[in-house]
Amino acid sequence: MKRVTLIGAGKVATHLGTALEDNGIIIQEVFSRDIKKARNLARRFYDARPTDSLNFKSSFSEIFIIAVSDSAISDVAEQIVLPNHNAILAHTSGATPLESLAGSTLYTGIFYPLQTFSFDKPVDFSQIPICIDATAKGALDRLAELAHRLTPKVFHLTNEERKKLHISAVFACNFTNYLMEVSSQMADEAGMAFQDLKHLVDETVEKAFSLNTPIDGQTGPAIRKDNKTIKRHQESLNTTHPNFLPIYQVMTDAIQGKVGQYKTAHEVEIDRLEKERLLIEEQIEKERAASGLSQEDEDYLS
């Protein structure tokens, strides 16, 4: 029977640890820098030991899973002390490369559940894809075996593939959720509850997953190029919610397939410097013409 140690006591560690124990895995230790959090989570498991120390030299765990914020992964990897029985150290991040664990141990890996987690909402791991990677085939096989305990949806992805998947998830989940928050505010001002839009959202999501591609189900004024409606929307937003107007414009342009209209901050700065250079050259030319000196004379004087 496999033994796993959880490094972290947040939402991911809570749900992952629960699912692992429900599927016959022993949770050996729970680490948190805040020992109270470690104790609270350890109590959920049969016989887990809470700890605020990263020294696991005497642990019996085979797999150590880092489930902390992305910014803390490297610090944990640098400080952790693992036992001498070929233990695997893996993290659960979708955006952090495998190399962030380099030097911490011989066997490192990725164990990334493609899901958003909340403390008060249970999840069904059998429906969640788990993406894995490792520095050695033996470690990859062991992580795959652990993942298959939870779900049939196990994928071996490289750093680059996992980064693209994470961006995909940001668009599908994080950005969509914020757009629903915008919708909620607008619905409230219209005298209706956001809950009244649930049938509309459900139908949109269902169509997106039933068609060949979500764009096949795209509706609304942008795809119809209904410029009169778009203009009315923009004027209303400019008056009531100017902070939402750029979002509306970017989304409308994207749906209509307009590209190249938006520049990065770097590109804007290059344009500014180029305009400044041209103005200086223009001013120098004017001063030269006023002085009556030729370029050769100026070079000589310089």
For the cut 70, the answer to whether the pLDDT of residue 172 exceeds it is yes
For the cut 50, the answer to whether the pLDDT of residue 248 exceeds it is yes
Q: What value does the mean pLDDT take over residues 5-16?
A: 97
Question: Each residue of 121-148: pLDDT tens digit?
Answer: 999 999 999 999 999 999 999 999 999 9
Question: Each residue of 48-95: pLDDT tens digit?
Answer: 999 999 999 999 999 999 999 999 999 999 999 999 888 999 999 999
* 294 vs 8 pLDDT, higher one: 8
Question: Each residue of 207-233: pLDDT tens digit?
Answer: 999 999 998 899 999 999 999 999 999
pTM: 0.80
Mean pLDDT across the chain: 91
pLDDT for the residue 266: 66
Q: What value does the mean pLDDT take over residues 35-48?
A: 97
pLDDT category of residue 103 using cuts at 50, 70 and 90: confident
Give me 189's structure tokens: 């001002």
pLDDT for the residue 260: 47
Interatomic CA distance for residues 145 and 2, integer angstroms: 10
pLDDT for the residue 235: 94
